[in-house]
Chains A and B, each alone.
Chain A
């Protein structure tokens, strides 16, 4: 098997005055692997992602990124430049005065020149379908546009791994389909957290579920359902 790019072993974490949110959790993501993670609200999915990014220090357990144990803040600093992390709330992610500045922020931190960073940013905006949004004010975008802009900030860094926390919330069906296409076109390893099962099964090779502070294999059972479509009675595919 190929190398694990992200490896969590035996992670436990409790928020102050609460029971363990994560309880002896182990997880790994291998090179080129596309994983989908789901689980009930409050299960601890976002918490796990924050731990693997080094934003929360677990009470117990070990984080290993790109084969190196993350023992201190310095180690995380270097590893973070290689991981594209999309926050669940885009409002937290966008903080620059213009969309272009925001998308270029990461590449500039990676040491690119202003020209190259601008080019990268424009390219990333194009990819997510926000070409022409360069001079807009990030926090005045619509909810879905914010999500796409945040995704562009992540893609602009050309990460080796993508970690996306609910990338589809607030997206219209068109934008969601577009996002699925973008993801399917990328061959870096990724972990996508979502409540949108159709999206997950469309974009992931394998599904995992979080329950009781641990990760287990997730199963999707095919089932029949009634649903609403714009097309009404038109025949359609799933």
Chain B
């Protein structure tokens, strides 16, 4: 569990050696336009670029596909409804349902965009070790509060999950088997309640421990960032791509 749950953070690719601050900025530059796209040509281009990024980060393909599968499960639900719910040129109909060209196009657009964004984030942000994320964000002059929230959410999701697993094990070790009865529901309610209380308490105690060691709201890291020529070249590449997508997707169509 826990930190090995950021399976992409370790590696020795060009991407891993790029300054985390540059990767953060690139992540923003690449994904925000992609998220707003309504143009399929530009979306496909974004997908191609995200594949390039994944290639540059030399991520483990099995793991990448695993993650993508999760995202695409949600998207599969879209395909169940969206193609039938948009008015337009009918391709096929059963009873009252019309499968429309517009519906299929939109579902496809969303699929391509989502995958492009997830892949880009995996390659750009997923490769930043969590201990570097805080200092990197702070050096980019993000508000301290925001950095803390992001970091601790990330850090403690795993701890909460671990507490959950531990408590489940403790329940099972004492012979608990879920059934459909009151005892089961009550036990689950307690489990969830305890999870919240324990997470709260733990957050409090960790905060105290941090203050005892001189934490005053700023993260210092052993990692030192220095952006080199390669980093700037990479930044330029991402910004250029982003500009091109903006041109293709918005300016050319007169949307901006």
User: What is the interface of chain A, defined by CB distance below 8 A to chain B?
Assistant: 50, 53, 55, 77, 80-81, 83, 85, 87, 89, 91-93, 95-98, 100-101, 104-106, 108-110, 114, 117-118, 137, 139-140, 153, 157
Contacts and interface: CB of A to CB of B under 8 A. Distances in A.
Contacts of B202: 91-92
Given A55-B208, A83-B212, A97-B3, 16 more contacts: A50-B208, A53-B208, A77-B216, A80-B213, A91-B202, A92-B205, A97-B155, A98-B3, A101-B222, A108-B221, A109-B213, A109-B214, A109-B215, A109-B216, A118-B222, A139-B159
Contacts of B2: 137, 139-140
Interface in B172-203: 202
Contact of A53 (B206, B212, B216, B224): B212
Closest 4 CB pairs of A and B: A109-B214, A108-B220, A92-B205, A106-B213
Contacts of A105: 210, 213, 215
A87 B211 CA distance: 12
B130 interface: yes
Which residue of B209, B211, B224 has the most chain A CB atoms within 10 A of its CB atom? B209
Interface residues of B, number: 26
Contact of B209 (A92, A114, A140, A157): A92
A106 B214 contact: yes
A104 B214 CA distance: 12
Contacts of A153: 213
Interface of B: 2-4, 129-131, 155, 159, 162, 202, 205-206, 208-216, 220-224
A85 B131 contact: no
A170 B209 CA distance: 20
Contact of A55 (B162, B212, B221, B222): B212
A98 B6 CA distance: 13
Which residue of B4, B211, B215 has the most chain A CB atoms within 10 A of its CB atom? B211
Contacts of A83: 212
A75 B159 CA distance: 32
A40 B205 CA distance: 23
B131 to A, nearest CB: 5
Contacts of A104: 222
Nearest to A154: B213
Nearest to A77: B216
Contacts of A97: 3, 129-131, 155
Contacts of B214: 77, 80-81, 106, 109-110, 157
B256 to A, nearest CB: 42
Contact of A114 (B3, B206, B212, B221): B221
Contacts of B159: 139
A96 B154 CA distance: 12
Contacts of A87: 205, 209, 212
A109 B206 CA distance: 16
A96 B208 CA distance: 14
6 contacts: A91-B202, A92-B209, A109-B214, A109-B216, A139-B162, A157-B214
Given A137-B2, A139-B159, A93 B209 contact: yes
A83 B209 CA distance: 12
A81 B206 CA distance: 17
A93 B208 CA distance: 9
Contacts of B162: 139
A164 to B, nearest CB: 12
A145 B130 CA distance: 23
Contacts of A157: 213-214
Contact of A95 (B129, B206, B222): B206
